[in-house]
Chain A
Amino acid sequence: MPTFNDILIMLPEFYLVAAACVLLLTDAFMKPEQRPHLHWISIFVLLVGIYLVIAGQPEQAATAFGGMFVRDDVAEILKVFALGTTALVFVYARPYLIDRKLLIGEFYTLMIFAVLGIMLLVSAGNLLTVYLGLELLSLSSYALVALNRDARLPSEAAIKYFVLGALASGMLLYGMSMVYGASGMGGTPSLDLAQLHNVMTYTTAPNLLLFGLIFMIVGIGFKLGAAPFHMWIPDVYQGAPTPITTFIASGSKLAAFGMAFRLLSSGMGDLSQHWHLMLAVLAVISLAIGNLVAIVQTNLKRMLAYSTISHMGYLLLGLSAAGPEGYAAAMFYAICYALMGVAAFGVMLALSRAGFECEEIADLKGLNQKSPWMAFLMLLAMFSLAGVPPLFGFWAKVLVLEAAIHANMLWLAIVGIVFAIIGLYYYLYVIKVMYFDKPAEGSVLTVQQDKPLRVVLSLNALSLLALGLYWGPLLGWCRSAFGL
């Protein structure tokens, strides 16, 4: 029987389930002209969620439901940023959705369920919870990608996402079953991550365990979008409606980091000498494929998709350091990437309008002459993604590089930095198009008049500069979560 304390520990999640259900019902019984209010209610729901996460944070890591659910600082930070970036997505998405008549209750409900999935995933203390959270997030995401169900491209993207996602889930599940089996050979079988931690010391089937680990890493690689499990990323990024892409590029990545951390560190921490090199290889391939293929893209969403792949390479650099320093750096990177991604896609959302998707790089031609402010915000996002000081993205890169050097992987840090130079080109190209090119003949770039969008987007992009100038507290927060 769950005790009252269990429920208290999981309060933010219970609250979000309830809120999502209420939203669903409200939507069904609302008059059509009142539906736009759902937008503000949903944002409010997320903000209350942030409050509950922060206010109810126990002094020390607490577990609920017999270790199924862990509530520690790592989970707290990831939840706060997942809820926060999703709220940003809501703000940025509104004009876009209104223009395309997609401002419907399903969007908000599905998004909140997806966030719930993220929250379960990053708090998982058991293989089952990992799977539960992952599926909740994934299924909601598949549906969200197909939100505009009559359009061809989103449907195609959704099918691709679903088929490949299901395959990856299957791999993950298969791996989990092997790990479970290995834990039963020579001991009591267990799904609990904390108990799995030292399976290696007693199991009579170490090879089975390693196989299980490899399959699990495939699942993690897919969720992160690390090469060679990245095939879905470009198509889904390009095909999905931009607000959904924004979500996949931000909250989803935080979830992927949380999942990797739970499975690899909490669960398979004893095997780190085995998986750290696998992650390093994934990192190198991701850096290479992401950065090189991004150079030839003409579609901005697709380019950012490849750039995501390369960024996941950097995140893996931190993870593969396999120590608290590395985890802190990787988490910092995930947060940083989420903020940068939201800002970059936010500018695209602000420049899109009914009948016009701002998604080709050429669409940004001469933006500095049409709207210097939007161009400046995009410039901040691009330089931050490229990792040029003093912007936030630079420090995130410095941290993961430092973590790699700290873990005696100087070669990996050098590979990382060399690809940073190559990656520089395509970000600079976007700035070149915005600043150095003349507006194309007959181009009518207009900025959405939506006040909240403009204000929040400006704050979002400026935060990249502000956090670049003063990132100490955030780093301190991330490090304290890993006991540093």
Chain B
Amino acid sequence: MFNHLLSLLIWLPVAGAIPVLLAGSARPNLARWLSLLVAVLTFVVSLFLLVQYNPDTGGMQLTESYLWIASWGVHYGLAVDGISVALILMTTFVGILVIAGAWEVIQDRPHQYMAAMLILEGLLIGVFCATDALLFYALFEAILIPMFILIGIWGGPRRVYATLKFFIYTFFGSVFMLIALLYLYQKAHTFDLATLAALPLTLKEQSWIFFAFLIAFAIKVPMVPVHTWLPDAHVEAPTGGSVVLAAVMLKIGGYGFLRFSLPIVPDASEHFAWVVIALSLIAVVYIGYVALVQEDMKKLVAYSSVAHMGFVTLGIFIAFMLVRGSANTDMAQLGMQGAMIQMISHGFVSGAMFTCIGVLYDRMHTRSIKDYGGVINVMPWFGFFYVLFAMANCGLPGTSGFVGEFMVILASFSANPWIAVFAAFTLIIGAAYTLWLVKRVLWGDITNPHVAEMKEINGRETFVLVAFAAAVLALGIWPQPLVHLMDSSVSQLVHQIAIHKI
């Protein structure tokens, strides 16, 4: 089993979707329990990664490689390093919570919903462990299919517009990456990522490839100005869809930068790091202001996601200024580490925020902030969790939101204090839009009679929120295990980008 642990992780949920589908709409409860079983099993299997992966040696481990397409030399190649392990664990963890979160909320064809979720989960895990560029690309694109269905069938009133926009937008970005990969294949005659990383390329080639990758990953992250699909997709998606979208799918963009842009085109990345850094700062500051004025809760959290993901790209590319500019490897590592922690933390925090909004939406069927007010009076326990996640969202020390942001700001300070000043704006703006949201939704008097009829969260919802809360607090109070898990991988990456390719 341990020889094929990664394959098992990918194919278990995908194969598990088949019996769930077969359960059919006639037996919705069977479909629900089956999918929960599959999700829990996947999570349990993913825990073996922690046992099997040795964080001290770093590098790619648990390698699986089979010749897939002989005439092209394409391999079905899987392997993980610390970064992948962290992301996979987050995916399987969130996987359980979205299945549980959708339990009786999804009444229309629950078997199809659950099956789509499971397939999505399997494909996402695949993306995080593919070591062959073509395999990565195939999985990267295949993800769109279940997500398209999820938003389109179970989404809100403008779901068709949102899901078509989501699909075409993200597809648009990634096709240029495909051209870049095919170009690389012409040069290297392989799609193996490690070989591509060692391939010498001129700065001109690197620049074109860099921008091809940038379009693909910037849309996924999403970075300003290609973030416009995200608010639409988030607002219209069902709660589970939003959670997976925010918690896991956005991370593929950041992960792509680490796996593709940095190792394959390091010199172009250095050359154009200022572009990414500038866009990240715009995301942090400007999108923060945009979030402030949102009337719709989901849109607010969606914009706050864009702002938080700005820290991820900032942390990744600030490393270039540090490594190549002043050879400050330690600080570069801190920035990169911070970006990674921010990814994981944002996964939990945004997932939790969307779950909270889902809880409110299921009771009131509105996402508009002005319809709420005084919710704390009728749902005190819910209020407790909501405030906790809001604090994490604005980066309060002791929650996971603080750790990553702090590390990135620290690293950017040693690169250029001005960058740090702009990045630190988030602490003010983030607090402003999050706390104002809490104030308008939770506190105050009940003005809307429907709010008075709202019921406190039930056991299932409590379970989901407690799980998220535990993750957020654990990461915030004791991030050391996560840091240790990723440490050697991040330091290898930092040393790799220090090497010039020209």
Contact code string A226-261 (vs B, CB < 8 Å = 1, else 0): 000000000000000000000000000000000000
How many angstroms between the C-alpha atoms of A406 and B175 in the bound complex?
17
* Closest CB in chain A relative to B329 CB, distance in Å: 37
Residues of A within 8 A of B149 (CB): 435
* Closest CB in chain B relative to A120 CB, distance in Å: 30
B164 touches A398 (CB 8 A): no
How many angstroms between the C-alpha atoms of A388 and B233 in the bound complex?
20
Chain B contact residues, majority secondary structure: helix
The segment from A9-17, A25-33, A73-81, A410-418 found at the interface with B is: A410-418
- Given A398-B178, A401-B178, A417-B175, does the pair A428, B142 have CB atoms closer than 8 Å? no
Contact code string A362-388 (vs B, CB < 8 Å = 1, else 0): 000000100010000000000100001
Contact code string A79-100 (vs B, CB < 8 Å = 1, else 0): 0000000000000000000000
Contact pick for A424, options B69, B160, B168, CB 8 Å:
B168
How many angstroms between the C-alpha atoms of A209 and B27 in the bound complex?
70
- Given A401-B179, A432-B164, does the pair A406, B141 have CB atoms closer than 8 Å? no
Contact pick for A390, options B69, B70, B142, B172, CB 8 Å:
B142
- Given A398-B178, A410-B183, does the pair A484, B71 have CB atoms closer than 8 Å? yes
B463 located at the interface, meaning its Cβ lies under 8 Å from any Cβ of chain A in the complex? no
How many angstroms between the C-alpha atoms of A413 and B72 in the bound complex?
18
Contact code string A425-444 (vs B, CB < 8 Å = 1, else 0): 10011011001100000000
A402 located at the interface, meaning its Cβ lies under 8 Å from any Cβ of chain B in the complex? yes
A388 touches B71 (CB 8 A): no
A417 touches B71 (CB 8 A): no
B142 touches A405 (CB 8 A): no
- Given A417-B175, A421-B172, A424-B168, does the pair A405, B138 have CB atoms closer than 8 Å? no
How many angstroms between the C-alpha atoms of A173 and B137 in the bound complex?
46
The segment from A269-277, A307-315, A334-342, A468-476 found at the interface with B is: A468-476
Whose C-beta in chain B lies nearest to the C-beta of A397?
Answer: B178
A420 located at the interface, meaning its Cβ lies under 8 Å from any Cβ of chain B in the complex? yes
* Closest CB in chain B relative to A465 CB, distance in Å: 11
The A-contacting residues of B in range 286-305, CB under 8 angstroms, are none
B144 located at the interface, meaning its Cβ lies under 8 Å from any Cβ of chain A in the complex? yes
The B-contacting residues of A in range 203-233, CB under 8 angstroms, are none
- Given A394-B141, A432-B164, A479-B71, does the pair A417, B176 have CB atoms closer than 8 Å? yes
Residues of B within 8 A of A402 (CB): 182, 185-186
- Given A432-B152, A436-B152, A472-B71, does the pair A420, B175 have CB atoms closer than 8 Å? yes
B68 touches A425 (CB 8 A): no
The A-contacting residues of B in range 57-82, CB under 8 angstroms, are 68-72, 74
B346 located at the interface, meaning its Cβ lies under 8 Å from any Cβ of chain A in the complex? no
A389 located at the interface, meaning its Cβ lies under 8 Å from any Cβ of chain B in the complex? yes
How many angstroms between the C-alpha atoms of A388 and B183 in the bound complex?
20
Whose C-beta in chain A lies nearest to the C-beta of B111?
Answer: A372
The B-contacting residues of A in range 432-484, CB under 8 angstroms, are 432, 435-436, 470-472, 475-476, 479, 484
How many angstroms between the C-alpha atoms of A196 and B149 in the bound complex?
54
Contact code string B171-193 (vs A, CB < 8 Å = 1, else 0): 11001101100110110000000
Contact code string B107-144 (vs A, CB < 8 Å = 1, else 0): 00000100000000000000000000010011101101
Whose C-beta in chain A lies nearest to the C-beta of B173?
Answer: A421
B153 located at the interface, meaning its Cβ lies under 8 Å from any Cβ of chain A in the complex? yes
Whose C-beta in chain B lies nearest to the C-beta of A373?
Answer: B21
- Given A389-B141, A435-B152, does the pair A421, B168 have CB atoms closer than 8 Å? yes
B160 touches A432 (CB 8 A): yes
* Closest CB in chain B relative to A259 CB, distance in Å: 25
How many angstroms between the C-alpha atoms of A421 and B68 in the bound complex?
27
B70 touches A476 (CB 8 A): yes
Residues of B within 8 A of A418 (CB): 175
How many angstroms between the C-alpha atoms of A383 and B144 in the bound complex?
11
Residues of A within 8 A of B142 (CB): 388-390
Interface residues of B toward A: which range?
35 or more
Whose C-beta in chain A lies nearest to the C-beta of B167?
Answer: A428
How many angstroms between the C-alpha atoms of A99 and B455 in the bound complex?
57
Q: How many residues of A contact B (CB 8 A)?
A: 34
The A-contacting residues of B in range 196-214, CB under 8 angstroms, are none
* Closest CB in chain B relative to A374 CB, distance in Å: 14
How many angstroms between the C-alpha atoms of A92 and B147 in the bound complex?
32
Residues of A within 8 A of B153 (CB): 368, 435-436
How many angstroms between the C-alpha atoms of A384 and B408 in the bound complex?
42
Contact code string A23-44 (vs B, CB < 8 Å = 1, else 0): 0000000000000000000000
Residues of A within 8 A of B186 (CB): 402, 405-406
How many angstroms between the C-alpha atoms of A431 and B159 in the bound complex?
14
B145 located at the interface, meaning its Cβ lies under 8 Å from any Cβ of chain A in the complex? yes
B402 located at the interface, meaning its Cβ lies under 8 Å from any Cβ of chain A in the complex? no
Residues of A within 8 A of B144 (CB): 388
A421 touches B182 (CB 8 A): no
How many angstroms between the C-alpha atoms of A405 and B70 in the bound complex?
20
Whose C-beta in chain A lies nearest to the C-beta of B175?
Answer: A417
How many angstroms between the C-alpha atoms of A74 and B47 in the bound complex?
51
How many angstroms between the C-alpha atoms of A420 and B175 in the bound complex?
9
Contact code string A141-155 (vs B, CB < 8 Å = 1, else 0): 000000000000000
Contact pick for A425, options B69, B112, B168, CB 8 Å:
B168
Residues of A within 8 A of B141 (CB): 388-389, 394
A417 touches B179 (CB 8 A): yes
B137 touches A389 (CB 8 A): yes
Contact pick for B164, options A406, A417, A425, A471, CB 8 Å:
A425
A414 touches B179 (CB 8 A): yes
Residues of A within 8 A of B134 (CB): 398
Contact code string B83-118 (vs A, CB < 8 Å = 1, else 0): 000000000000000000000000000001000000
* Closest CB in chain A relative to B10 CB, distance in Å: 12
Contact pick for A389, options B68, B72, B138, B167, CB 8 Å:
B138
Residues of B within 8 A of A390 (CB): 138-139, 142
B168 touches A436 (CB 8 A): no
B167 touches A413 (CB 8 A): no
B148 located at the interface, meaning its Cβ lies under 8 Å from any Cβ of chain A in the complex? yes
How many angstroms between the C-alpha atoms of A418 and B178 in the bound complex?
12
Residues of B within 8 A of A383 (CB): 145
Residues of B within 8 A of A372 (CB): 112
B182 touches A413 (CB 8 A): yes
The B-contacting residues of A in range 158-216, CB under 8 angstroms, are none
How many angstroms between the C-alpha atoms of A398 and B134 in the bound complex?
10
A405 touches B168 (CB 8 A): no
Residues of A within 8 A of B164 (CB): 425, 428-429, 432
Whose C-beta in chain A lies nearest to the C-beta of B72?
Answer: A475
* Closest CB in chain B relative to A106 CB, distance in Å: 42
Residues of A within 8 A of B152 (CB): 431-432, 435-436
- The CB with the most chain B CB atoms within 10 A, among A368, A398, A425, A484, is that of A398
Contact pick for B167, options A410, A424, A470, A472, CB 8 Å:
A424
B171 touches A405 (CB 8 A): no
Residues of A within 8 A of B179 (CB): 401, 405, 410, 413-414, 417
Residues of B within 8 A of A389 (CB): 137-139, 141-142
Q: A405-B183, A428-B167, A472-B72 are in contact. List 17 more A-B contacts (CB 8 A).
A: A389-B137, A390-B138, A402-B182, A405-B179, A413-B182, A421-B172, A421-B175, A425-B168, A428-B148, A428-B164, A431-B152, A432-B163, A436-B152, A472-B71, A475-B69, A475-B71, A476-B71
Binding site for B on A (CB under 8 A): 368, 372, 383, 388-390, 394, 398, 401-402, 405-406, 410, 413-414, 417-418, 420-421, 424-425, 428-429, 431-432, 435-436, 470-472, 475-476, 479, 484
Binding site for A on B (CB under 8 A): 68-72, 74, 112, 134, 137-139, 141-142, 144-145, 148-149, 152-153, 159-160, 163-164, 167-168, 171-172, 175-176, 178-179, 182-183, 185-186
**Could you write out 29 A-B pairs with CB less than 8 Å apart?**
A388-B141, A388-B144, A388-B171, A389-B137, A389-B139, A389-B142, A398-B134, A398-B178, A398-B182, A401-B179, A405-B183, A413-B182, A420-B175, A421-B168, A421-B171, A421-B175, A424-B167, A424-B171, A428-B167, A429-B164, A432-B164, A435-B149, A435-B153, A436-B152, A436-B159, A471-B69, A475-B69, A476-B70, A479-B71
